[in-house]
Every structure is written in structure tokens, then in C-alpha cells.
Structure 1
Amino acid sequence: MYRVPVISKKGKPLMPTKPSRARRWLKEGKVVIHKNDLQQFAVQLTVDSGEETQPVAVGIDPGKHYSGIGVQSGQATLFTAHLELPFQKVKDRMEQRAMMRRGRRGRRINRKLPFNQRAHRQKRFDNRRGHKLPPSIKANRQLEYRVVKELSQLFPICSIVYEIVKARGDKGFSPVMVGQKVMTEKWLPQIAPVTTKYGWETWSRREFLGLEKDQQKSNPSPATHAVDGVALASHQFLTYRQIKGDRGWHEGRVEITNAPFLVIKRPPVSRRQLHLMLPAQGGVRRKYGGTITRHNFRKGDYVEAERKGSIYRGWVSGDTKSKVSISNFDWKRIAQFSKNKVELLQRSTGLICKQETAFVGATRC
């Protein structure tokens, strides 16, 4: 059975409750619906109550293109998610930006002049700092941090378990290794204490819990990465004890239950371009990119539109002089609607979430 996040009257996350109890509280006026950026059904108390909580852990299985997150308590699985990371999109845009910059410099500099007379701009300051994260890796880690930060406002998180990658011997270097240190030592400790685990420990715990694993990493299903997040989070409640030889046992208790499963990603909105690939005729550049539309909507806003008696819901992805373009979760345009037939449901939060088939688990250990 699912659990509904509960927020205290003062805004502190409490232990989740059953949906039936949350509905009863709504009828009695004891709670109101709590809006959040993950678009999860949550309630906030309007009356004073106790603030005792139980341990809740978050497991993060980071990747290059996809990551998995699981929120687990000792008695239930509370939340699972599959993150579609912006690695490839950011990488492509950075390469395009470099190419456009090279083109502008080539047009600006007159190579017929001697080198000392060319219009080379001298550096204005030393911007060559060390220990900088590549933009593509930084965007990946920022999305993971953003989701965990939102979860910390819904659940009383007491610990975070993060899987780290370690290249040994002659194995190739993995981009997933970049950014591990800043996540485990700088960003995530601001939310809760962080514990690190290796991949083989995640595999061993997943096998012990009996969770199925899908090797097709691009599938937006709980079995691809979310199960690893749940397995990592279970380390908070299960400890493996080993004696001499290969004999050992697990101490503690954890129960894997059904939980909501979300697919989360950033809206792929293009940034505003001040320069195009080729110079425009007459020096007048066409409008490209940006988040502002002409109809008081922002790209990424979740809206509802009506056409010929049918209702459509999606995210704002563009506009024309009199219409608004609405796209689905895959950022494929549904249609263009009249601006008067579009109603705002939620302002853009920088995240788009899609509720998928629920995570199914029924394991007690």
C-alpha cells in the first residue's frame, strides 16, 4: 500500500500515512493538500501534533545517462524514481556553442593584417581555475541533488546512501566517477549524513532482497535503476555480519512494499541565442530559445488546454502570435492551442515528472 507524505503545521516532514487516513483527514479539515515540485500527493496538517519520526533513508544509484533513487523506511518503501539525465543534451549544446564562437572569431579577425595588428582580444582576467566540473557532469549531479532536496521536504530523511564507482587495474575511466566527491562531501551532507557503497555491495543487497533487475538501462521502469536505489537505502536497516570463511548473516529488518514510481527529467528548453550559426541578412537575428512566451506563460509550465470538447494536459514548449504549443512528457508537440483556451496548472519548476507503473515489492527481511 502506498504512503502519503505528511507535513506538520510548522512545515516539518513527518512519517507518511495511509491514503485512506489522508482522505479522512481531508474530509475532517485536519489537513490541506501540500503542493510540491515533484507533483506528489501530500498533505499538511492544520492542527498541532507530535513530531516523532522513524529513520528514513535515500539510496542514489548515479549514472551517465540515467540514475535511480529510492526512499525506504524500515516498514515500507516510500518513493522510487528514474532520472533521465541531461548529459548528452548539454554536451551537444556545448560543442555547438564552441563551434559558433569559433565562427564569430573567424569573421571578426582580419587575417590579411600582420599578427601584431589583428583584433585579438586580450584576456581580461584569469579564468583558468582547477577542479571544475564539466558542464554535462555538473548538470547530472545537480539534477540528482535537486530531487533529493525536494524529497527531504516530504520525508524525514536521516541518511543518504550513495553508490560510488571505482576503476581498478586496466579498466577504463567512467564519467560517472566525475562529481562523486562534490556530491558525497559537499552537496548531499547539507541534507543528511552520507554513506558510500560500491557497486558490488549494491548487487549483493539487491540479490538478497530478491529484486529483479532490467539490463536495458534506457527503459523507464522500476527494474532498471530504482531497484538499486531501494537496495542502497536498505543498508540503513540491514547490516551484513561475516565470520571466518564465507559464512555470514544479515542483522536488522526491512520491508519492501509497493511505492509510487516517477520518471523525472529537466524540460529540454533551449537557451536564448544571441548569435546564430550564420550571420542574418541585414543584421536582424530571428528569435530563438528562451523561456518567455508572448502569452504570460513560461516554457515548462504545466497547463490544461481545450479543443473541440477534448481536454489536453502537457507542458508549454513554444508559442506563435496567437497560439501556445503544448508538448507531452517526451517533448513531442501535442498541438497548438489558442491562448484563450489554455489554463495554467503549475508554474515551471525546472522539473517535469511523469507517474508510471508503480514499483512493486513484497519482501520482508
Structure 2
Amino acid sequence: MQRVFVLDKNKRPLMPCHPARARELLKKGKAAVFRYHPFTIILKDRAGGDTQPTHVKIDPGSKITGVALIGNFKNGKKVIWSAEIQHRGQSIKKALDTRRALRRSRRNRKTRYRKARFDNRERSKDWLPPSLMSRVENILTWIKRMRHFALITGISMELVRFDTQKLQNPEIKGIEYQRGTLYGYEIKEYLLEKWGRKCVYCGKENVPLEIEHIIPKSKGGSDRISNLTLAFHECNQKKGNQSIEEFLANNPERLNQIKSESKKSLKDTAAVNATRWYLFNQLKKERLLIEVGTGGKTKYNRETQNYPKKHWIDAACVGESGQNVQIEPDMQVLEITAMGHGTRKMCNVDKYGFPRSHRRAKNAPNGVKGRTYMGYKTGDIVLAVIPKGKNAGIHIGRIAIRQQPNFKLNDLDGINPKYLRLLQRNDGYGYQTARKEGEKLLHSSYH
């Protein structure tokens, strides 16, 4: 069960408590809801108290980053809170591509004789593309937030996920430093991610998989990562030293799928490798003890403890401290999605890049000022108590405002703002979690 963050009356972090304890405090009026995501309560009449050190562990990823908060108890280390942060790097890149195309078109139409000025700009030494920087900023944001809600004494992060030189050419000189008890884990972990953790020939999942050469070595195939895949033992033996064209002659669709997948770039791996040192240097500024580990070590710890493959579980297993971590079977995960804070572009374009419409002015006739309306803005988390009608009942979720008092809440349309109660302002993230547990705790504070 995921713990609830607790603050004293001076807003200083205490030890996270069990949801049942938080529910009891809310019912007795000794605590109030301080924040909905992550669910945090604040005590009304207590200042200070006994706390135990906690350790935050992160598994940085290109698309999803796992986060786990570990508590040190007398009977061992336990995961007391976990989350998975979904990044928006790809959407940022797409938006920048659109902006670049639009600006290039406008310069070509309006100022094609103007001298180019792109050489006048300089980039800082530690510059990263915005799509990569957003990944780093998401992690840093949540590390800083968690320090407000829990007494964190250390950070663990997966610093080296994949060695791309070794992936591309295992015979490269100087790789002996990786040979040891973890040798091979880096390659297989990458293949598991790339091929979806299933046999490429029969599609079986949750079975032992073996590294298989698409072009057999007996026919000139190499150990390059583009020639490796994963196969079930029986499929591997059945294929033998046949070429993939011979083995899948009767299944051209799967043959084409494997060929196209094998040529997939190392884009996600490059994104992680490009940001890992920048993230590490930024975390050092938090002035906490930092532990680092490799992706191979993470997988080794996870498999020796028989835990399933999940991003937050990988985070809990990072480094040497991830060897003996207790995870409750009913552990719930907060799914965090980076949403951004809206758009700054003043002109909307069609699919061909031509202007289609312009943003509404702040002093619009219908009363809409900026991005807010009647004190609400899209992304706010609200409590709706609707007494009658088709949407009657108690609802909690994220709202989308309209240009009239007719908001959208989750999948419900036609919500009047007079029935809403603000729980949390839009902070640039969307949340999906054990909503039932959060609603139970929230209802305890209102009944």
C-alpha cells in the first residue's frame, strides 16, 4: 500500500503514514488535506516528531522514468511510495519542428534578402536540446517536490544504462572492464526493451528468452546489436542455422516486421546517455549523498529478488542498495504525465503551415481573460458535488474549461462551476493513480 505524506503544522515533513492512519486523522479533524497529488495531509496541532531517513531512487528513461521512495525500517528497506513519470520530449520536438517550418516559410516569404544571423548566437557549454532538457527538468522537479514532503537523505540513480559502443561492436578494444558477473546483462536488457519482451518468431511472452542471431554466424552474421534478437528456446533450436528468409518463408508479414525492427535506431538510448551526466551534476547541487549504478546491476538485483519488470521497480533496485528491497504486493503507483503549461504560439496553422487562426485577445468580449475563467483553468483538479441531473454524484478529476460555464470533468460534459471545489491548481502534470484510495481519504475530510 502506498504511504501518505505527512506534514506538521509548520509544513515540515514527517514520516509518511499508512492510508488507514491518515483516514483516522482526517475523520477526527486532527489533520487536513494539504495536496491531492501526491496525497499529503497536514497536522493541525503537532510540530515536529520522530522521523526516519528515506532514500529516493530513480531510473531515468527516454519515455518513462521510474521513481521509488525507500524507507529504512528495523526489519529492512521497504518501498513506501512510487511513481512513473511519462515525459513529453517527443511532443516538444514535434512542436519545435512545426515552429521551425513556420518561421522558415515566413522568412522566405517576407525577408528572403536579409542576411542570415544564425552564426551570431552561441550555446552554453552544457546546452541540451529542449526535448532532452524537459526530461531532466521533470526529474529535478519531482526530486525537489519530494524533499518538501519527506525527509530525504540520499539519492540513487542509474547513471549508465547502455554502452552504445559495445552494443554496436562487441569486439571493440577496452571492453574488458565490463566483463564479470554482469557481462551480457547490458545487451540483453536492451534487446528485451527493443523487442517487447517476447519471442519474435512465435510471440510467446513470460517465457525464458535466448539471444538469437538473425543472420546465423555460420553464414557470416556478426554480433552487432542490429543482428541480435530474442527467441524462445524451441524456436531458436528449430531455426538452427537457417537464414531468417528461409525460416519465415511462409510468414512474410512477420519477416518484414523483424527486418524493419532490427534497423531501428538507438534514439532512446542516445537520449538517456546524452542527459545522464547533466542530470547527475544537477542532482549534486541538492547536497545529498548520491549512489549510482548501471542498468545491468539494476536488472541483476531485480531478477535475484524475482520482481517483475516495471520502471518503478527498476528504480527501487538501482545500485548496491537495491539488493534487498521489500516491495508489498499491493503497492500502488502514481502515474505522472508531463502536460506542459499550455502554448505560447500566437498563430495556429493548418497541416500545410499556413495561418489558420489567431489566439483570442485577453480582453475578449465573452469575458475570457487569458487562460482562466471564473477562477479555474484547464488542468485544475477539482471536487464536483452535483446534486441532480444526469451527472449527479461526487466526482474528482481534471477539468477543461470552456468559454462559458460549461466545463468538462474527466469524461463528463456540462459541469457548472458552481458545483466545483478546487483541490489543486494545474502544475503542468496529469495524474492517474489509485483514485479510489485518494477519494476515500478525501471524503474522510469532508464527512
TM band (smaller chain): 0.7 to 0.9
After superposition, the C-alpha distances for 1:177-236 in whole angstroms (9 at most, x for unaligned) are: 1221121122354162221100011011111222112xxxxxxxxxx2111112127x43
Partner of 1:207: 303
Q: Does 1:236 align with 2:321?
A: yes
After superposition, the C-alpha distances for 1:297-318 in whole angstroms (9 at most, x for unaligned) are: 2221113454534244432334
Is residue 58–residue 72 contact of structure 1 (8 Å, CA) maintained in 2? yes
Q: Does 1:275 align with 2:350?
A: no
1:11-26 equivalent positions in 2, closer than 5 A: 11-26=11-26
Task: Give the SS at the match of 1:272.
Answer: coil
Task: Give the SS at the match of 2:304.
Answer: helix
- CA separation of 1:18 and 1:199: change in aligned 2, threshold 3 A: same
Is residue 81–residue 333 contact of structure 2 (8 Å, CA) maintained in 1? yes
Is residue 382–residue 398 contact of structure 2 (8 Å, CA) maintained in 1? yes
Q: Which moved more, 1:168-177 or 1:224-233?
A: 168-177
Structure holding more helix per residue: 2
Task: Give the SS at the match of 2:35.
Answer: coil
Any unmatched runs of 5+ in structure 1? 112-117, 214-223, 239-252, 359-365
Q: Does 1:129 align with 2:124?
A: yes
Partner of 1:216: none
- CA separation of 1:293 and 1:43: change in aligned 2, threshold 3 A: closer
Question: How far apart, in 2, do the equivalents of 1:317 and 1:63 lie?
Answer: 29
Partner of 1:320: 403
Q: CA deviation at 1:320?
A: 2.4
TM-score, normalisation: structure 1: 0.75
Question: How far apart, in 1, do the equivalents of 2:295 and 2:412 lie?
Answer: 40
Q: Does 1:163 align with 2:246?
A: no
Q: CA deviation at 1:89?
A: 1.1
Question: How far apart, in 1, do the equivalents of 2:25 and 2:294 lie?
Answer: 43
Question: How far apart, in 1, do the equivalents of 2:52 and 2:135 lie?
Answer: 30
Partner of 1:264: 336
Is residue 373–residue 401 contact of structure 2 (8 Å, CA) maintained in 1? no
Q: CA deviation at 1:59?
A: 1.3
Any unmatched runs of 5+ in structure 2? 169-265, 363-368, 437-447
Task: Give the SS at the match of 1:180.
Answer: helix
Partner of 1:176: 272
Question: How far apart, in 2, do the equivalents of 1:357 and 1:322 lie?
Answer: 26
Q: Does 1:147 align with 2:147?
A: no
Task: Give the SS at the match of 1:153.
Answer: helix
- CA separation of 1:187 and 1:22: change in aligned 2, threshold 3 A: same
Task: Give the SS at the match of 1:131.
Answer: coil
Question: How far apart, in 1, do the equivalents of 2:103 and 2:354 lie?
Answer: 12
- CA separation of 1:33 and 1:198: change in aligned 2, threshold 3 A: same
Q: Structure 1 counterpart of 2:129, which letter? A: P
Is residue 82–residue 333 contact of structure 2 (8 Å, CA) maintained in 1? yes
Task: Give the SS at the match of 2:415.
Answer: strand
Q: CA deviation at 1:160?
A: 0.8
Tell me the number of residue pairs that the alignment of Structure 1 and Structure 2 aligns.
Answer: 317
Task: Give the SS at the match of 2:312.
Answer: helix
Q: Structure 1 counterpart of 2:79, which letter? A: T
Question: How far apart, in 2, do the equivalents of 1:67 and 1:3 lie?
Answer: 20
Q: Structure 1 counterpart of 2:382, which letter? A: V
Is residue 209–residue 231 contact of structure 1 (8 Å, CA) maintained in 2? no
Q: Which moved more, 1:302-311 or 1:93-102?
A: 302-311
Task: Give the SS at the match of 2:336.
Answer: strand
Q: CA deviation at 1:174?
A: 1.8
Q: CA deviation at 1:296?
A: 2.7
Partner of 2:4: 4
Question: How far apart, in 2, do the equivalents of 1:27 and 1:334 lie?
Answer: 29
Q: Structure 2 counterpart of 1:228, which letter? A: D
Q: Structure 2 counterpart of 1:127, which letter? A: E
Is residue 163–residue 198 contact of structure 1 (8 Å, CA) maintained in 2? yes
1:1-365 equivalent positions in 2, closer than 5 A: 1-26=1-26, 31-36=30-35, 38-44=37-43, 46-51=45-50, 53-75=51-73, 76-109=78-111, 118-120=113-115, 122=117, 126-164=121-159, 165-167=161-163, 168-171=165-168, 172=266, 174-187=270-283, 189-190=285-286, 192-213=288-309, 224-232=310-318, 235-236=320-321, 238=323, 254-257=325-328, 258-267=330-339, 270-277=342-349, 285-287=358-360, 292-305=371-384, 306=386, 308-311=390-393, 312-326=395-409, 328=410, 334-356=412-434
Is residue 37–residue 351 contact of structure 1 (8 Å, CA) maintained in 2? no
Question: How far apart, in 1, do the equivalents of 2:355 and 2:85 lie?
Answer: 38
Is residue 88–residue 339 contact of structure 2 (8 Å, CA) maintained in 1? no
After superposition, the C-alpha distances for 1:275-329 in whole angstroms (9 at most, x for unaligned) are: 3335658xx7354999703433222111345453424443233422443344x3x
Q: CA deviation at 1:133?
A: 1.0
Q: CA deviation at 1:71?
A: 0.9
Question: How far apart, in 2, do the equivalents of 1:28 and 1:313 lie?
Answer: 23
The structure whose Rg is larger is 2
Q: CA deviation at 1:140?
A: 1.2
- CA separation of 1:69 and 1:103: change in aligned 2, threshold 3 A: same
Task: Give the SS at the match of 2:428.
Answer: coil
- CA separation of 1:197 and 1:132: change in aligned 2, threshold 3 A: same
- CA separation of 1:20 and 1:66: change in aligned 2, threshold 3 A: closer
Q: Structure 2 counterpart of 1:208, which letter? A: T
Partner of 1:217: none
Task: Give the SS at the match of 1:179.
Answer: helix
CA RMSD of aligned residues (A): 3.3
Task: Give the SS at the match of 1:60.
Answer: strand
Is residue 379–residue 399 contact of structure 2 (8 Å, CA) maintained in 1? yes
Q: Structure 2 counterpart of 1:87, which letter? A: G
Q: Which moved more, 1:6-15 or 1:138-147?
A: 6-15
Task: Give the SS at the match of 2:16.
Answer: strand
